[in-house]
Structure 1
Amino acid sequence: MMDAKEKERIQNNFKEKMDYEEILNCTRCGFCLPSCPTYIETDKDEVHSPRGRIALMKGLVDGDIEPSEEVKRSIDLCLGCRACETACPSGVNFGHLLEQARDAIYQTNEKSLPEKVVRNVAFHHLFPHQNRMIGLTGLLGMYQRSGLQRVARSIGVMNLFPETMRTMEKVLPEVPKKKEMKQRPRHYAPLKKQTKKVAFFSGCLMDTVFKTTNDATTKLLQYAGCEIVVPELQGCCGALHGHSGEREQAKEMAKRNIAAFEDAGVDYIITNAGGCGAFLVDYGYLLKDDPVWQERAAAFAAKIKDVTSILVALDFHNMPLQLDEQIVTYQDSCHLKNGQKTFMEPRQLLESIEGVTYVEMHDASRCCGSAGIYNIVESEMAMQILDHKMEQAKKTNAKTIVTANPGCLLQMKLGIEREGLADEMEAVHIVDLLLRAYEGGREKMRFEEMDSGGHAGA
């Protein structure tokens, strides 16, 4: 329970940190309500709707209500998917308000000792340091390759963990060896006539747990004619910090990334993770009040481009792409769609693959329930949302569910496992599927050329 001093600190923080003009932009029209997963899943409880949360924020700033566990719960339960932003006729930047509100709460809130330790380790001693991320991922790789994973499962150790974490352990990708993670090339030459020079934002989890997807991304960019540089001093984008009430730490991480890319001399900075990309695009807002960094942040943000966008711009969808015949559907990354405004490009690429029948999933842009670490800290709500998503996925009869964000990818793998569909359905990051398709198309062309040459010779 909050004591009087803590309530006062939180209230003062809200008055200091919240963008009151943005709050007043909300006209409470209700257009956001059908787009909000938590509003729907709580039987249309206004406290868990976007306009309800904004009303609570305004009440705290105005002094009409006091901070309470109920208010904190409403802010915590929000996925931060920003679907309300695309539905809002007034253009309210709810994502900014949510980050400010969590910052106001968590930089004041009295935390338990375990919570303090976990947040301190994760936010200050792990994610900002890529070498430590590599070290931790290396331990996970040893667990997977040494036989410990098999032993842990066989003797029932995993049964000590909650169901969601047990299933998540099953669907984690096989991670690379520590040596492989440390040998990241810093320059890639194009594999055809050069079209663009780009920098690649490799990320933290993407360049460790999902390194194979990063490798597929650079390969696709090379095939599309890009020269690629990968700045060594870049690090975690800071999205997890920004979304979890650690805005000051997020700002420091943003400055580090801006400085790392400033002298790269590139046309674009390419990302392959919807959540990272949306936060990188927002660096200009994050640092808007910093006179030293605001222009540099805006220049950095202006160069961010999702890999699907640049592939379409470079006509990759007109290259020979081939897969075995299958039905494919697509699950939008909330932040790719709502933050980076990238919606049609992934679909255009998928529809261009020979052998693929693309079927649009109903509510494809509704959040899958991953939302960073939401599916761990708010497991019950996340699983409710995932169950709805899997109902829609099954109706497409798809063999392959494609997405463009690591959290979404794991969440869809989790859904497939929970539904017992692992033998008939898979979840794939779009760049991994496109690389398969490109290599399949090249193989088909080789066979056709050989066949053509044989007939000519005859």
Structure 2
Amino acid sequence: MSIQTDFQNRIEENELLNCMRCGFCLPACPTYIETKDEVHSPRGRIALMKAVRDGDISSYEEVEESLNVCLGCRACEPACPAGVNYGHMLEEARAIFNEHHEHSIKEKTVRKTVFTHLFPNQKRMEQATSLIGFYQNSGLQKTSRKLGFMKLFPKHMQQMERALPKVAKKKSHPEAIFKAQGETKATVAMFRGCLMDTMFHETNQSTIKLLNKAGCDVIVPDSQNCCGALHGHSGEKEGAVELAKKNIEAFEAVNCDYIITNAGGCGAFLHDYDHLLRHDENWAERAKSFVSKIVDFSSVLLELEFNKNFPLHIKNQIVTYQDSCHLRNVLGVFREPRELIRAVTGAEYIEMSQADHCCGSAGIYNLTQPDMSMQILDHKMENVNDTKAQTIITSNPGCLLQMKVGIEREGKSDKMRAMHLADFLLEAVINQD
């Protein structure tokens, strides 16, 4: 089957025609802002997809390049007056091109290692993360820096190495229930994530402690898997579908009011399971039921009035917030983190200009498109600097790492820090206690 035929079968013409070419998406699109090239705008990419579907393009290199340069931040969606589901079309188009692409042996090996053997297997993720912990704690990190070994890598990779969080030793445990402190107001099941449960394990623990304080019994199903976002964004649709089904099964076994996420990217992809499985008659309704319970932890904290029931205090500092694109643009969560931050005495909240614009992380975008990623990040840090913030808060692991890299690039690691919202709030509770 040809690429054109797959586009005709899998990307709805009506969805493509919904784009009115009005241009409201242009000021929202980071890659258009950086390039001023319509090929790298949402309406330009939609036009390219339609041209492939209609058979007006016979060479697909420019189309593929345009789709690959896209961050997939989906900022164009809330900006679009016609409600075009750009993100869904982008992922389907990437999947089609990936299925028709002749990968080299090296590419096949890397993709199989990452998408089949690493991210879907939590034990392997833990083993990989423990290697980073060994590198940090054994003296290898200090030695490699002293010998100048990291200088063999590109500058942005050197900065990423310095920005990696300290990996804490994870205590493995089977499915567990973490009981609420005091009266139980809600029962929630927590999606732990792969990066969040390994490299950012302490942030998961912070999230659980906050939910317990707010009155939630927190259940962590042991049979859950990677959400599949990395697969879906990289054209590995089949792998994403399999992971979605396993996660739905895992959480169907739990009686809960909500399924909690604390990573914007994971939450958005979980929220799209009903779209991913819409054509599977055995899974479509189950996916809808699963999606109906997905909620960010900040929404639950605000609903249970955590910010009113607990005094929150921190050492005087200026704080700003960087939105997770998918948390804001897909889940529609942007008010809740700001209200929680503003409830912390000692924290002077300054809204960053264009806080809703992507930081350039976008999953593994900073590895696959490093030049564009760093260009976007440098402009983001200009806005951060304007706030004079000492603390940058965000709600997604990729964004957190990217902002840490931004701090390194600015040479401000001794004056500025980046934190996950959960860690910041728990610090405010502990300081008060």
Query: Could you state the TM-score of these two structures normalised by the residue count of structure 1?
Result: 0.93
Question: In structure 2, what is the equivalent of residue 428 of structure 1?
Answer: 419
Matches of 1:61 and 1:135 in 2, distance apart?
Answer: 44
**Contact persistence 2:225–2:243 (CA under 8 A):** yes
Distance 1:185 1:327, change over 3 A: farther
1:181, CA displacement in angstroms? 4.4
Question: In structure 1, what is the equivalent of residue 109 of structure 2?
Answer: 117
Matches of 1:396 and 1:185 in 2, distance apart?
Answer: 43
C-alpha distance after superposition, 1:155-200 (max 9, x if no partner) = 11111111111111111111122xx242366110111211100000
Determine whether 1:356 maps to 2:347.
yes
Matches of 1:102 and 1:304 in 2, distance apart?
Answer: 26
Matches of 1:351 and 1:62 in 2, distance apart?
Answer: 51
| AA matched with 1:409 | L
Matches of 1:241 and 1:20 in 2, distance apart?
Answer: 25
Distance 1:181 1:112, change over 3 A: farther
Question: In structure 1, what is the equivalent of residue 397 of structure 2?
Answer: 406
4+ residue stretches of structure 1 with deviation over 6 A? none
Matches of 1:312 and 1:404 in 2, distance apart?
Answer: 15
Determine whether 1:268 maps to 2:261.
no
SS at match of 1:228: strand
1:249-268 aligned at under 5 Å gives the runs: 249-268=239-258
1:110, CA displacement in angstroms? 1.1
The one of 212, 229, 246 aligned to 2:202: 212
Query: Could you state the TM-score of these two structures normalised by the residue count of structure 2?
Result: 0.98
SS at match of 1:233: coil
**Contact persistence 2:259–2:295 (CA under 8 A):** yes
Determine whether 1:137 maps to 2:129.
yes
Determine whether 1:169 maps to 2:161.
yes
Matches of 1:15 and 1:120 in 2, distance apart?
Answer: 28
| AA matched with 2:2 | R
Distance 1:23 1:186, change over 3 A: same
1:419, CA displacement in angstroms? 0.3
Matches of 1:118 and 1:9 in 2, distance apart?
Answer: 25
Matches of 1:190 and 1:176 in 2, distance apart?
Answer: 25
Matches of 1:220 and 1:36 in 2, distance apart?
Answer: 35
SS at match of 1:21: helix
The 10-residue stretch of structure 1 (363-372 or 143-152) with the greater mean CA deviation from structure 2: 143-152
Matches of 1:222 and 1:18 in 2, distance apart?
Answer: 44
Question: In structure 2, what is the equivalent of residue 382 of structure 1?
Answer: 373
Matches of 1:19 and 1:105 in 2, distance apart?
Answer: 16
The one of 215, 219, 228 aligned to 1:238: 228
Determine whether 1:314 maps to 2:304.
yes
Determine whether 1:47 maps to 2:39.
yes
Larger radius of gyration: 1
Matches of 1:387 and 1:112 in 2, distance apart?
Answer: 33
Question: In structure 2, what is the equivalent of residue 299 of structure 1?
Answer: 289
**Among the aligned pairs, what percent are the same residue?**
57
Question: In structure 2, what is the equivalent of residue 26 of structure 1?
Answer: 19
1:16, CA displacement in angstroms? 2.5
Matches of 1:56 and 1:368 in 2, distance apart?
Answer: 25
| AA matched with 2:368 | V
1:12, CA displacement in angstroms? 2.8
Question: In structure 1, what is the equivalent of residue 87 of structure 2?
Answer: 95
Question: In structure 2, what is the equivalent of residue 455 of structure 1?
Answer: none
| AA matched with 2:287 | A
Matches of 1:159 and 1:196 in 2, distance apart?
Answer: 51
**Contact persistence 2:122–2:225 (CA under 8 A):** yes
| AA matched with 1:35 | A
| AA matched with 1:132 | R
The one of 70, 74, 79 aligned to 1:78: 70
Question: In structure 2, what is the equivalent of residue 450 of structure 1?
Answer: none
Matches of 1:137 and 1:440 in 2, distance apart?
Answer: 30
Question: In structure 2, what is the equivalent of residue 190 of structure 1?
Answer: 180
| Structure 1 vs Structure 2 CA RMSD | 1.0
**Contact persistence 1:200–1:269 (CA under 8 A):** yes
Structure 1 unaligned spans of 5+? 1-7, 443-458
